[in-house]
Each structure stands twice: as C-alpha cells, then as structure tokens.
Amino acid sequence: MTLTGALDVGMPVPPDERVIDVRDLRMRYGTRDVLDGVSFTARRGEVLALLGPNGAGKTTTIEILEGFRMRSAGEVSVLGVDPATAGERWRARIGVVLQSWRDHGKWRVRELLKHLGTYYAPYSTDRIRRPWPVDDLLDVVGLTELGGQRVMRLSGGQRRRLDVAIGIVGRPELLFLDEPTVGFDPAARREFHDLVHRLTDVDDTTILLTTHDLDEAEKLADRIVILGQGRIIADGSADELSRRVAGETEIRWTRDGQRFVHSAVDATPFVRQLFLQYGEGIDDLEVRRNSLEDTYMKLVLESEGEAR
C-alpha cells in the first residue's frame, strides 16, 4: 500500500493561517539526498510532531526551519518569511529549545532569564508583550524556588526546564522542541506536557516537536508527520494514520471471570456478535485500534521496503 496519493487529502490550510509552509524541500550532502522533496504545513496554534527513525532527516528539517542551516532547494516559509534570509525581528518571534550542556554555568537562573528577556523587549507588540515576566516564567516552568541557584548546580531535569524557559522567554509565536523530554522522569514529563498544552491553549503558540517517544507524540500532537529516508511517508492525526494502515484491532474482555483476547480486522461486527452471543456475561470490554507505535513501525518498514 502506498500513502502518497492520500497525502493531499485532509484539510487544506488557508495561506494566512500557515505558520510553517514547506514545499519540495531538498537537502543534499555530496551525492546523498538527506531530504528528497519534503512538503508540509503547520497552522497557527497547532502542535505538529515530526517523527522518523534516526537519519530520516528530522534534525536537518528542523534546523532549516530554525534558520540554522541552508537548504539545497525548495520553498520554505516560516511565519511568512524565508528562514535563510530572515532578520532579527523574525528571530524574536521564534523560540528554540536547545539541548543544553553546560553553557552559562556561572549564571544564576533568574539572572539569565532576565538578561535573555531584554533581547526581546524591542520586539514587544500590543498583541504579544515581550519578554515574559521572569517571575511568571519561573512559575510556569516550576523553577521559582531555584531562581537564585547557579545554572551549573541544577539537576538534569531542572536544567531542561530552564532550557524550555529560555526557549519561551520571548513569547514565541512558533516554538521548536527537538526531543524535549529526553531524560525526564514520568512526573517531569507530565508537567512538561501540561506546559505545552498551556502554551498552545492560552497563547496560541504553534509548536513543532521531534521525538522518539510515540506516546508523547500521540498525547501532544494535533498532527503527526512521519519522515522516512528523506521523504514524508505519512501526515495526519494519530487517529487518521492508524486508520490508513491496514491492521488488526485488539479486543479484550472477560466472561465468567476469565480473560479473552482476540484480534480482528474489523472490530465492530465482532463485538456486535459477541454481545448477541453472551449479552450480560461480557465484562471489562476493551477495544484498541493499532497503537501509534504499530502504525509507525508499519509505515517505516513499508517505506524502507520500497526504497530497497
């Protein structure tokens, strides 16, 4: 099965709503095509997850959109501007959460956020007040108590939250998150997800994130774009993607205290039959369509099969 024909279906995004508009993006290193005709859009307020195996071109794509890397060919528009030639005003509307290591170690948390905020002040508008006030920001990322701490003394998770705070200090209209929750414990991950929801719901921020955590992608993303071998192999909501991939649905239930598991291509008639047969005897019914992980694995394997 090929998905290429299905890609243009889905809702067309009106041009003025397109925060990211990528058309036929190509990137070539020597004779190797890292990106081979990538096209997708993101609309205002949308959370878009970019998935794909290592080497599929995720990082290259995101770095081109961030304006950190030149492309070989194709059209790219981010907030209506070509990142390759965009100026400081454009930069002020973009947030990038970088994977920090040990930079600014001697700075204190509050001092660093306050200082970095001043760079955005000239770009404040009536609609978006820049920068984000430091106290509110510390509160949002849960670092209020650590405001006076030196950055080098933060734990890994705290540092990551500081990275996020730095990424959003300028109240970006578009935020790039490259593998944001690597190294987070489950509680920190949950808090981070809440923060992302807050950003999109309250501030209408558009977010492009890459991740290897499919569960995270499913929870956060309105839309998922899967890259494989430098091409887009799927584009849609988690639900749409799983519908597109032929797969079996898992049905679990109990009857007379005994557990049953069954896989069916079409779950609805099966469940109907089940109730006709046993009625009240059925308990704890669960119907699970392909998980995003199943869908993802199928799509990636398929695209690799085609390439060979």
Partner 1 sequence: MMTPLRAGVARGGIELRQTLTNGIDLFTYLFPALLLLGTIFFMRDAHVPGTTFSLGASTLPSILGMGLAFGGLMTVSQQLVVEREDGTLLRAKATPNGMSSYLIGKAVVVGGMTLVSLLIQLVPGLLLVGSGLHVSASGWLMLAWLVPLAFLSTMPIGAVLGSIFENPRNMGLIILPIFGLVAISGIFYPITAMPGWLQGVAQLFPMYWLGLGMRSVFLPDSLAAVELTHSWRHLETFGVLAFWAVLGLALAPWILRRMARRESGSAVAARRERAIATMGR
Q: Which residue of 28, 44, 69, 243 would you call a contact of partner 1, by CB under 8 A?
A: 69
Smallest distance from the beta carbon of 87 to partner 1, in angstroms? 9
How far apart are alpha carbons 275 and 283 in whole angstroms? Answer: 10
**In this chain, which of 40, 120, 132, 192 binds partner 1, going by CB under 8 A?**
120
The first and second tokens of residue 97, run together, are 């959460």
**182 near partner 1, rule: CB under 8 A:** no
Q: Is 125 in the site for partner 1 (CB under 8 A)?
A: no
- Looking at beta carbons only, is 163 or 235 nearer to partner 1? 163
Residue (89 or 252) nearer to partner 1, CB: 89
CA angle (284, 287, 289) in 5-degree steps: 155
Using CB under 8 A, pick the residue from 39, 100, 144, 237 that binds partner 1: 100
Amino acid making up residue 261: V
Q: Which conformational region is residue 107 in: left (phi greater than 0), alpha (psi within -120 to 50 degrees), or beta?
A: beta
Specify the stretch interacting with partner 1 by CB under 8 A; choose among 99-107, 243-251, 265-273, 298-306: 99-107
What residues contact residue 253 under an 8 Å CB cut-off, 6+ apart? 259, 260, 274, 282, 283, 284, 285, 286
192 contacts partner 1 (rule: CB under 8 A): no
82 forms part of the interface with partner 1 (CB under 8 A): no
Q: Contacts with partner 1: how many residues (CB under 8 A)?
A: 34
Is 91 a binder of partner 1 (CB under 8 A)? yes
* Min separation Cβ 118 and partner 1, Å: 6
Q: Is residue 96 packed enough to be buried (19+ CB in 10 Å), middle (13-18) or exposed (0-12)?
A: buried
Taking the complex as a whole, the smallest distance from the CB of residue 59 to partner 1 amounts, in Å, to: 5
Cβ of 140: how many Cβ atoms within 10 Å? 18
Residues that bind partner 1 (CB under 8 A): 59-60, 62-63, 66, 68-69, 88-89, 91-92, 94, 96, 98-104, 106-107, 111, 115-116, 118-123, 166, 170, 178
